[in-house]
Amino acid sequence: MNLVHYSEHPVTAVRSMRGAACFKPRGLWVSDENDRHNWCWWCEKNKYHLERLRFAYDVFLSPKAKILTVSSVDWLGDFTSCYGYDLEEYGVTFRLIDWSKVRKEFQGILLVLDIWEDRMVGGRAFGGREW
């Protein structure tokens, strides 16, 4: 893996991100640049905030880091079952992830984009990140 963090501005410090997260967890988002569907590719393909690709930083994980890797659609379903909860608003039920529960067990999560075509199966979206 070749993990990279992109930013619109220079990164001068990295700090732990605590607090509530709803749809997406807080923290340092990374992209595996060896993956054919990496973040840079997606942004360029969709002309999405290209200015946010201005600075690229290599990210190296400690071999001792407790990282959860989700690498199949089945595993994504298991992950959602284990860490998910339902939130009903305006008569619609949303399946969300309890990111505080995930954070208690893992220092980060990598959602492998080899399952790109299935990224929205059952309304579950993903990308690589760590806390």
Q: pLDDT, tens digit, for every residue of 4-54?
A: 999 999 999 888 776 666 677 878 889 989 888 789 998 999 999 999 999
CA 126 to chain centre: 5
Cα(32)–Cα(70) distance, rounded to whole angstroms? 13
Domain that holds residue 77: 3-13+25-130
The verdict on residue 91 lying in a domain is: yes
Q: What is the mean pLDDT of residues 92-96?
A: 88
pLDDT at 19: 62
The verdict on residue 65 lying in a domain is: yes
What total of structural domains would you count in the chain?
1
Is residue 97 within 8 Å of residue 82, measured between CB atoms?
Answer: no
The verdict on residue 90 lying in a domain is: yes
The verdict on residue 45 lying in a domain is: yes
The verdict on residue 18 lying in a domain is: no
SS3 string of 13-58?
A: CCCCCCCCCCCCCCCEECEECCCCCCHHHHHHHHCCCHHHHCEEEE
The verdict on residue 80 lying in a domain is: yes
Is residue 121 within 8 Å of residue 76, measured between CB atoms?
Answer: yes
The verdict on residue 20 lying in a domain is: no
The verdict on residue 19 lying in a domain is: no
Is residue 129 within 8 Å of residue 29, measured between CB atoms?
Answer: yes
pLDDT at 128: 45
Cα(94)–Cα(62) distance, rounded to whole angstroms? 35
pTM score, whole prediction:
0.74
Q: What is the mean pLDDT of residues 71-100?
A: 87
Residue 65 has pLDDT above 90, yes or no: yes
CA 125 to chain centre: 9
Averaged pLDDT of the chain: 82
